[in-house]
Amino acid sequence: MNHKTLSEGILDVIGGAGNVSSFTNCMTRLRLELIDPAKADIAAIKDLDGVIGVVPSGEQLQIVVGPGHAARLRDAFEAASGLRAGAEVDADGQVAVRDVAKETRDSIKSHHKTSIHALFRHVGNIFIPIIPGFIACGLVMAIANIWKMIDPNVVLNPWFAAFAALGGIIGGALNLITGHNTAKEFGGSPTLGLLAGGVPYLAALGGIAASETDPAKPLSIPLFGDLSPALGGIIGVMVTAWLFTVIEKLVRKHVPAALDLFLVPFVTLLVGAAACVLVIMPLSALLMKGINWLLIDFALEQGGVIGGYLLSSLFLPLVMLGVHQGLTPIHAQLIADNGFTQLLPVLAMAGAGQVGMAIAVLVKTKNRRLKNIVKSALPIGFLGIGEPLIYGVSLPLLYPFITACLGAGFGGAVVALGIQLTPGGFGASGMGVSGLLLTGLISGGHWLWYVGGLVTAYLMGFLLTFLFGFKEKMVERLS
């Protein structure tokens, strides 16, 4: 793909740089905020070489170019237009491929206008920039684990220790990065956000309420019981960093400009830290305990194969509702606490069910246009990029979407069974990838369970769709 040529072509058919108020990108799309959307020639954009699909959404125009190309296209568009790309990456996960039916797009968009969805979009904006770090450190940890399995004595090698420590950087810095990104997202000072991320994890906090007989006793909050501030995890850090931005803006309104540099950060840190330690973190700890009990203890450990089936089969409907980003802090916290997230391999089966569905549609349909859509989207579907298959094939056809979700559940059941039977369990040591690519991030060398789940989801998604989910007359819904 020639990104420079594509950028110039896009500018020619959207009304020029003067019609663009801002632009950014996510993992698969260039997102343009247009002043006058009517000036954009959607059909002409679709005809440009390298464009997979176009999604008009009010004043925003999403141009789908696929993973690996979106960021390069953003840079080329910046150079061609003379505009500056937005610093924040928005990712609500909605992608459509080629001529997705208008009613499908309208139905999806109608579910993404509430304050809850706005909250989850903020969460996505906070964590999407961290994903490359999770991938890099996760792969390093995967290599270290394989190395240790081959040679257990390698743990005595200082070079191995340094290599393994490299993979742990994201876990150690996660709270600081999250605080930084949260403050940036809500218009506060990123450095104060970074401090907000560090407040709950100060070593001295463990001794504030220590008794003479037990100096190691953690901080005890009388109102909330014996809860350490750090137990609030990532959610607590985000709330704390958000509060820092609120305090910062409020104090700035009442402080003379000459004293701004001194008083604003000073008051923000003191008031925000007190609120964090005494209120935010204890309450966040209760919330985190409840979420962990529901998703891990109840759904996976007690629910077993049934819990795995339900989690996998219901995940894509959550994506349709736009609330899946709410799971990102949970994955991050599980990785920080355990070194892996048990949820991600189970939820990844949702994309595998879509792959099986797509193969069944490819085999059964006689429609050349639908075959071309499936062929273009299927390779990246195997790699975990499922949006083109979802929005270009299964969701507009409807019944294949249902059979794909049901087929995915069988893969989730296999992975959940493996987690149950494995002492200590296993999971993904990073996030941001799915499909076959996630195999390299499965912890403890238990990747066979994950691959078994993928194969099962492929097979069941195929069989259910082939037998019950697709009929040729459904192709009319794509017109």
**Quick check: 441 and 139 in contact, CB under 8 A?**
yes
| HSE-up of residue 217 (Cα within 13 Å, Cβ side) | 11
Active site residue 405: no
- 354-391 burial by CB neighbour count: b if 16+ within 10 A, else e? bbbbbbbbbeebebeebeebbebbbebbbbbbbbbbbb
Amino acid at 246: V
SS3 assignment, position 451:
helix
Residue 296 CA from chain centroid, whole number: 19
Beta bridge partners of 61: 32, 56
State how far the alpha carbon of 309 is from the alpha carbons of 68, 171, 343, 452, 457, in Å: 32, 29, 12, 14, 10
Say which residues have a Cβ less than 8 Å from residue 167's Cβ, sequence separation at least 6. Answer: 137, 138, 139, 140, 141, 143, 144, 429
* 3-state DSSP assignment of residue 138: helix
Query: What is the full DSSP assignment across 210-222?
Result: --SS-TTPPP-BT
- Active-site residue (options: 26, 137, 276, 405): 26
By annotation, the residues acting in catalysis are 26
